[in-house]
Amino acid sequence: MKYITKNLILFGIILAIYSVVFRFALSAALNAEKFSLSIVIGIIYGVMIFITAWNLGKAHSINKFIFDAGLGFHITTFIVWGIVSELWFILGYASKYESIKAVHYTLIFWGLGLLLHFFIYWRLKNKTIKGVMKSDIFE
């Protein structure tokens, strides 16, 4: 079975670009002490990720036989955002108002959400064929 498709790889690359731009914009806004702008930057970043994942996810699910409930995109987002955020601090680009602890706490809580998503996926996987409930197919 194909878990990684061209669309998922493309999403990872686009997400890495979005994440670097987001980190740059966030650090610049915080250095300029425009704290309310950081909320707007975060919202724009989230919306861009959602739209990109939605569009690439549609084609991704058509090319796959299994039902994954967006788990691949969720895992990709978690990994790419975590790597970019960690590297941002390691390379010393972070604002003086940013803390690596915020990244770590975000990854911990997001990881718990990811585990919940995996659990839901695991339960649904056995009950569906390509996203359609088996009971609806074999009645």
pLDDT per residue, tens digit, the chain (139 aa), is 467 888 889 999 999 999 999 999 999 999 999 999 999 999 999 999 999 998 988 776 655 555 566 888 999 999 999 999 999 999 999 999 999 999 999 999 999 999 999 998 888 777 766 656 656 666 6
Q: How many CA atoms lie within 13 A of 70 on its CB side?
A: 15
CB 76 within 8 A of CB 3: no
Q: What is the pTM of this model?
A: 0.83
pLDDT of residue 133: 62
pLDDT of residue 138: 63
Say how many Å lie between the first and final Cα of the chain, rounded: 26
Tokens 């969720």: give the residue.
74
